[in-house]
Amino acid sequence: MRSLASKSAVAAVSLLVAAASPAIAPPALAGQVMDDIRSTGEVICLVNSNSPGFSVPGSDGIYKGFNPEFCRMAAAAIFGDAEKADIRGIGFSDSMKTIVAGDAHMASRSITNTGTRDADPGMAFVVTTFFDGQGFMVPKSLGISRASQLEGATVCAEEGSTTLLNIADWFTDHGISYRVENIADKTARLQAFFGGKCDVMSSDFSALAADRLLAENPKDYTLLPDVISNEPLTIVARPDQELEAALFWAFQVMLWAEQFDITSETINEVVADLERQPKAVQRLFGRDSAMGDIAAKLGLHEDWAIEVVRQVGNYGEVFERTIGADTAMGIDRGGSPNRLWTEGGLLYAYPIR
């Protein structure tokens, strides 16, 4: 994660480039996107339209799952009300196009932070919420246990994603022949795979685990153990220093809350007895401390950090109730990079002070 100062420098350079090349839209100046959010009274946030565990619409049309929780995190921080997140399901390629076009404020879905994407002046990659990797799903009937056995396979993959590039790199590097069914629409892609048009489906492991649940009989399919790429799945926003800072620090609050074992159920008790808490917790949730200072500088709700934990929860709570070991997804954080750094993972909370 670059510092906010370096992001501002990149934005300034991008403006100069945009002036010389009218084909590239200049990024928004600091505060303009947040001004729009405040004026409309909602955060427009894009998620996957159907990814069990990560993002699915309920019978009431409201999206539930791991990724929509970070949309609500943003609304809780900005407005003090998580329900002021306008969460919209959208396809992968269209999500980035929508952000660049300025028709949404942020996206919380499976978008990998890559160098070329991060260099796009129309998007800001803010903070990684899930560390993933690309793999393969195959029917058990094929009797395949490793990706090295995929000689001559037909692979179903998503058009416009990093998946295709990773497949090409991996198969070429291993001297294995293959062909691709490049299908943009998820429903059509799953129909092709489950219908036998493809031998294998390739995507992020999290997406494959979710897609397997959509099969008529999920037990007929298995995920191979081979990991062929690094996929840091990151919140994407329209470039705006205030919005980027709000999202980044709201996420840090969720990490700190987990590290201090503060949950949505205990936050009221902690705040009621704040003077007896560790100094870091006092800064985290004190109006006259770091929380209040950040709120004033970014125009957030005065109790933004408290409301993030109260209405959304800490990172561990969100993980366990949406995709954890006791859910249909059954993802065990043990051994996963999606653990706090204190437990051997990659989630490292930045100091709020």
Q: Kindly give, in sequence order, each residue whose CB lies less than 8 Å from that of residue 340, ignoring residues fewer than 6 positions away.
A: 255, 258, 259, 315, 347, 348, 349
Whether residue 99 sits in one domain with residue 65 = yes
In the chain, the number of structural domains is 2
Higher pLDDT, 345 or 184: 345
Whether residue 258 sits in one domain with residue 122 = yes
What's the chain's length in residues?
Answer: 353
Q: 293: which 2 tokens?
A: 């200072």
Crossing angle of helices 32-40 and 241-259, rounded to 10°: 80
> Which of 229, 252, 286 is the last residue before a domain boundary?
229
pLDDT tens readout for residues 211-222 = 999 999 999 999
Percentage of the chain beyond pLDDT 90 is: 86
Q: Kindly give, in sequence order, each residue whose CB lies less than 8 Å from that of residue 26, ignoring residues fewer than 6 positions away.
A: 14, 15, 18, 19, 121
User: Sorting pLDDT into bands at 50, 70 and 90, what band is 345?
Assistant: very high
pLDDT tens readout for residues 109-156 = 989 999 999 999 999 999 999 999 999 999 999 999 999 999 999 999
Q: Give the distance from CA 82 to its chain's centroid.
A: 17
Residues spanned by the domain of 252: 4-132+232-343
- As a whole number, mean pLDDT of residues 41-62 equals 95
DSSP 312-331: T--HHHHHHHHTSTTSSS--
Whether residue 124 sits in one domain with residue 240 = yes
Edge-to-edge strands of the sheet including 134-139? 178-182, 153-157, 200-204, 134-139, 221-223
Average model confidence (pLDDT) for the chain? 91
pLDDT tens readout for residues 189-230 = 999 999 999 999 999 999 999 999 999 999 999 999 999 999
Percentage of the chain beyond pLDDT 70 is: 91
Whether residue 256 sits in one domain with residue 236 = yes
Query: Other CB atoms closer than 10 Å to residue 188's CB: what's the count?
Result: 13
Q: Give the distance from CA 340 to its chain's centroid.
A: 17
- As a whole number, mean pLDDT of residues 98-116 equals 95
pLDDT of 25 above 70: no
Indicate whether 280 belongs to any domain. Answer: yes
Query: In this predicted structure, what is the pLDDT of residue 185?
Result: 87
User: What is the distance between the alpha carbons of residues 22 and 34, in angstroms, rounded to a whole number?
Assistant: 25
Crossing angle of helices 241-259 and 304-311, rounded to 10°: 60
Residue with tokens 């992020």: 204
Whether residue 293 sits in one domain with residue 188 = no
Secondary structure of residue 57 in the 3-state scheme: strand
User: What is the distance between the alpha carbons of residues 203 and 184, in angstroms, rounded to a whole number?
Assistant: 13
In 49-111, DSSP assigns E strands to 56-57, 63-64, 85-90, 106-107
pLDDT of 14 above 50: no
Least Cα distance to 184 among 66, 97, 119 occurs for 97
> Which of 229, 244, 271 is the last residue before a domain boundary?
229
Report the run of H or E that residue 46 belongs to, with start and end.
strand 43-48
User: Sorting pLDDT into bands at 50, 70 and 90, what band is 29?
Assistant: low
Residue with tokens 């809780």: 76
Q: 163: which 2 tokens?
A: 């998946």
Whether residue 106 sits in one domain with residue 9 = yes
Query: In this predicted structure, what is the pLDDT of residue 234?
Result: 98
Which amino acid belongs to residue 43?
Answer: V
Whether residue 271 sits in one domain with residue 128 = yes
pLDDT tens readout for residues 67-90 = 999 999 999 999 999 999 999 999
Indicate whether 291 belongs to any domain. Answer: yes
User: Sorting pLDDT into bands at 50, 70 and 90, what band is 92?
Assistant: confident
How would you class 288 by CB atoms within 10 Å of its CB: exposed for 0-12, middle for 13-18, buried for 19 or more? exposed
CATH of the domain at 27: 3.40.190.10
Tell me if 255 sits within 8 A of 315, measured CB to CB: yes
Indicate whether 349 belongs to any domain. Answer: no
